[in-house]
Chain A
Amino acid sequence: MSSVLACMDVFLRDGLMYSILALGFYISFSILDFADLSVEGTVLLGGVSYSLLVCKGVNPWLAVIVAFVLGSLAGCVTGLLHVKLKIRPLLCGILVSTALISVNLVLAVVGNGGSFNGEGALSTISFSRNDPTVLRTFPASLIPDKTGAFNLRELITFLVVALIFKWILDWYLKTKNGLLLRATGCNEQYVSMLAQNPGRSKITGLAISNGYAAVAGALIATSRANANQGMGIGMIVIGLASVIIGLSLFGKLRFLKPTTMVILGSIVYQACLAIATYLGVPSAYNKIIMAVLFTVALVFSNSIKKGASKA
């Protein structure tokens, strides 16, 4: 029984943590119809910059905001490559995430006070026991750390952060600027006719979505108590699968906002992975399970779309 609860604890935590990444993908993939691969780099950028600042004793919430800003800047680069240089979305993402590999490595090595002579030795940033992460400072520190099998403090903190970012996005999408972003995703010509630059709107969207990815990176680093250079791998599948599962599984429920569906999708996806682990599937199979789940979600959402167009 206790292992069931531990399994729940894991997927709730991971689901909430990755839901912010999924919200980012909701903006780029669902709203803007832009397959943004730069996220692999920006998640790590968020994780690395947050960890560095926290290790230096900076307030962790400020570090989260810095992570958001840096992620947004990377998103701007992706957007500018696409809008100004007319490079295809997939390639823009590959270019930016490739460049970010170096950026992250340099940041981590230099931040750790290392030089480039002993290569890679210091590329992982680990928190010590006393480093003030978001979990160890006010206000999260007021919550009891554990109740039974649950890491209560971590769950509640991540839930609150996820909800805050969801509410910010909900609010934004109802502003004039947000509505323009949604219009850009479905009809660029229409945005041009409104005397607005659709390119600017796209860049804004990509900046926000990559900012969200970087915040997810900060939470992942908090939860794992380190930021290592492999952190970004697999983030695209996790984010996209969460969005697609969320929107196709809960799409019929009109009273839910799409942002809520995406968060639920992220939790469902992590639950599937956690259950596989619980059933004793070795963790080496994790990525193949992820790919299979993603495929199932894609097929499922396609069949729903077909059904809708027939009706």
Chain B
Amino acid sequence: MIEFIDIVKKFNVGTPDETTLFDGFNLKIEKGEFVCVVGSNGSGKTTMLNLLCGSLPVDSGKIVLDGKNITKMNEYVRAKYIGRVFQDPQKGSAAKLTILENMALADNKNKRYLLTPAINKKRMDYYKSLLEECNMGLENRLDVQVGSLSGGQRQALALVIANMSDIDILILDEHTAALDPKSSERIMQLTDMFVKEKKATALMVTHNLRYAVEYGTRLIMMDKGRIVLDKAGEEKQNTKIDDILYQFNQISIECGN
């Protein structure tokens, strides 16, 4: 279970541009939920993810994961429990390494990186089977440098890598936004498959309202650091795009977008 408790987050503190994004933000996410988060730009979606992952510090408040207070934990320490896929496909793997090397590194997550050979030939079939699930032909290109893959392929690889270790939380930060429609469709199907397979708690930020309605078990809409809509269970399943589109337009009109 993830809990945000009385979170306060300000930006540009001490300058005339000081803005308060979160002022007493609270959110509770149950284990195994697949939460889709929508909202206009600047509503605090990505900031919420950054606070959870430790990429940004909170000003006050607590973040609790399964009863553990992780507020003060370093980003790389929290990463033990978290798998993350970014909007930028380049962030999810190391460009100068081959697919095989990237997967070998990810395979060792939560173990120590000692002076032992990085690549274990016995694991190759396992890597290939993971890549086959993506259906992008990556399984035959293990020795290709990741930098030469397309955005969709790299994002699929990032998704596989994020799911290779035992994670409690899967963070998806607008991870289809930089892809063409066909690739993003494929990545969404893969995401759904991984979430169901792993039974991890998933948190997906998206600008695509259709994905938000189609996928996931809970839907949250954010505006100016507050939650303005929160549907779960049956209520979420019965939600139509038009319902949230109306609400979304209301927010956007207020913002002047």
Contact = CB atoms under 8 A, between A and B. Distances in A.
A195 B80 contact: yes
B75 A192 contact: yes
B109 interface: yes
A187 B91 contact: yes
Given A182-B96, A183-B105, A194-B106, A189 B91 contact: yes
B76 A191 contact: yes
Contact size range, B: 35 or more
Nearest to A198: B76
Nearest to A31: B96
B56 interface: no
Interface in B43-87: 74-77, 79-80, 82-84, 86
Given A175-B118, A179-B104, A183-B105, A192 B76 contact: yes
Interface in A201-221: none
Given A172-B115, A187-B94, A180 B76 contact: no
A192 B76 CA distance: 5
A196 B91 CA distance: 15
Contact of A180 (B75, B77, B93, B113): B113
Residue of A172, A185, A194 most packed against chain B (CB within 10 A):
A194
Contacts of A189: 86, 91
Nearest to B79: A195
B1 interface: no
A185 B96 contact: yes
A193 B108 CA distance: 12
Given A175-B117, A177-B114, A193 B94 contact: no
Given A177-B114, A195-B77, A190 B91 contact: yes
Interface of A: 172, 174-180, 182-183, 185-187, 189-198
22 contacts: A174-B117, A174-B119, A175-B116, A175-B117, A179-B97, A179-B104, A182-B96, A182-B97, A183-B94, A183-B102, A185-B96, A186-B95, A187-B90, A187-B93, A187-B95, A192-B75, A193-B83, A193-B92, A195-B76, A195-B77, A197-B74, A197-B76
Given A176-B114, A176-B115, 10 more contacts: A179-B97, A179-B113, A180-B113, A182-B96, A185-B96, A186-B96, A190-B91, A193-B162, A194-B108, A196-B76
